[in-house]
Structure 1
């Protein structure tokens, strides 16, 4: 009999009283079960439905130069996701805002990526009924990160359009920010295999949808368009609409075909992780003259100017 299945072939391994984690983590602070912890100490159970079934919702907000940007909108979306997924947490909006503030202040980061999340949790009996699970809220703040690095922000991203289809809204409500990323990850590997830096996926009708953690806009004859169907209504996407209203630019949510995107005068993506970021290559073909467009540059500048506007920001009070 093989030693792998013979219980008498060798003694059982010892049972450890605690886990020793050999991995490294970004410098930051997390909130979990009423405690503020270093990122290396923030853990969830392997039995949590959030881990086992991706049964969770979350939202991310960034802090720039010591100020939260549009925090209220992120809280709106997070609490909306909780309601739609029938989850509850022991904190109201002000309580969550205070926790996020504390994570950032304790971390000391002036520029931070801040996340609030709730998992379905686990049940004491490993029940298969999600109603038996105890929902679990947590939050963390780590250094700010961007979809595009400094070089890419200057020259523009190189994007590939994957044939992978984004999860349709009939299956998962895209207004609920979630961790269902396997379609996006497969799209990323499609892009990497083709020498690109990130990916765009299609919607169920074959039009352009969105990418891993970002929305996309195109500019034609001075008018902006962004996909309307099957996409997360991103906060930065909404911010572009607000900025366009102030700047007198026309913008609309509509179907965007692959052909139309490739033929656009300008293309850019939007995300809390990076803001407004230019795209200058699609599937190895330059967008227009392969230079960051004038409207994109204008919106990028206005976007970052708003980070100093008290009407759009709220300060972090550091110790």
Structure 2
């Protein structure tokens, strides 16, 4: 990285065609992404200098864009290049990398027509984030089943990443008030969905199970199912209810920002002697081992980023 570049060490953002320190990135208060949550996004991660399953994240982002009828001013190849350059300019070896498309501001002041907006693409790479802190993962997270139901899929499609977090935030308040680390939400019929930023799994009688509804089709979730298939661990997507959580031998959460994260308690149910269970730990270890082996890896081009101007 050349000496005349800004200080990108705490992250880089791409906004309106410019690369800036992430802390300086700004979005107009008139953008419908802010005023209406009219936005979709995706998040990939970089581990030890390489993206994990970048193509899968780009695939999901494209599906989300289509579902939201958003058209960013960059094609897939350009978006991949922007993400790579954000990481390269930052120099971060472990990073949380987001791609975001908002509806933008209406060209006609006061318009209520989405077609009158120019969609805006932004991206950023910041230092690694763990949705559940490492020390909590080590002792096993404590989850609380919130009373607030997950927003109905007929209203907000959970397979399209979005910022409609009102229900999830209410669930977090309940969990924290109860002394738990985070929450998991049920739908209006009592089926398990997901938590704030993560999918959930249980292990029962040696079988790994994850909810079949109301949840994002997570890339890490898919990776765990792949790892189970590779190692002969029975696993399936299935309907789960609150009582299934309370009868689980083990439980864990999965997310791009943290990987496989073991759970020790859900409500009053204590699992594996109040510690991460053996299947959870084995999958966690294998997930990071496969990273180290180059599974689904795309190298970050740090050298090219350091030789290019920032704006």
- For normalisation by structure 2, the TM-score amounts to 0.92
Matched, 1:142 2:138: no
CA distance in 2, matches of 1:310, 1:108: 20
Give CA-to-partner distance per residue, 1:129-183, whole Å, 9 cap, x none: 1110110000000000101222112111011110111111111122211000010
Q: Which of 200, 204, 220 is residue 220 of structure 1 equivalent to? A: 204
Q: Deviations over 1:20-74 (max 9, x none)?
A: xxxxx99210001111011122111111100001000000000011110000110
- Structure 2 equivalent of residue 58 of structure 1: 41
Write the deviation string for residues 98-121 of structure 1: whole angstroms up to 9, x where unpaired.
100000010111100000000001
Per the TM alignment, residue 311 of structure 1 is displaced from its structure 2 partner at its CA by: 4.1
Whether 2:43 is the aligned partner of 1:27: answer no
How many Å separate the matches in 2 of 1:165 and 1:265?
25
SS in 2 for 1:202: coil
SS at match of 1:87: coil
Secondary structure, aligned partner of 2:148: strand
Preserved CA contact (<8 Å) 1:263 1:287: no
Tell me the residue number matched to 1:243.
Answer: 227
Please state how far the C-alpha of 1:203 moved relative to its aligned partner.
1.4
Q: CA RMSD in A?
A: 1.3
Show the counterpart of 2:306.
none
Partner of 1:7: none
Which residue matches 2:289? 305
Change (3 A) 1:55 1:315: same
Report the counterpart of residue 307 of structure 2 in structure 1.
none
Which of 95, 111, 117 is the matching residue for 1:127? Answer: 111
Distance in 1 of aligned mates of 2:223 and 2:189: 26
Partner-residue secondary structure (3-state), 1:164: coil
Whole-Å separation in 2 of the counterparts to 1:130 and 1:26: 37
Give the one of 23, 27, 31 matched to 1:44. Answer: 27
Aligned counterparts of 1:73 and 1:40: Cα–Cα separation in 2: 28
TM-score by length of 1: 0.90
Does the aligned pair in 2 maintain the 1:158–1:284 contact within 8 Å?
Answer: no
Q: Secondary structure at the match of 1:122?
A: coil
Q: Unmatched 5+ residue regions in structure 2?
A: 1-7, 304-311
Residue in structure 1 matching 2:99, options 102, 116, 119: 116
Asked if the contact 1:88/1:135 (under 8 Å) is kept, the reply is yes
For the structure 1 residues 73 and 64, does the alpha-carbon distance in structure 2 shift closer, same or farther, using more than 3 Å as the test?
same
RCO higher in structure (CA 8 A, sep ≥6): 2
Secondary structure, counterpart of 1:154 in structure 2: helix
* 1: CA distance, partners of 2:255 / 2:44: 10
Give the superposition deviation at 1:200: 0.4
Please say if residues 144 and 273 of structure 1, whose CA atoms lie closer than 8 Å, have aligned partners that are also in contact: yes
Write the distance in 2 (CA, Å) between the matches of 1:95 and 1:254.
37
Partner Cα distance (1:285, 1:122) in 2: 48
Q: How far 1:288 moved relative to its partner?
A: 3.9
- What is residue 79 of structure 1 aligned with on the other side? 62
Q: 3-state DSSP class of the match of 1:277? A: strand
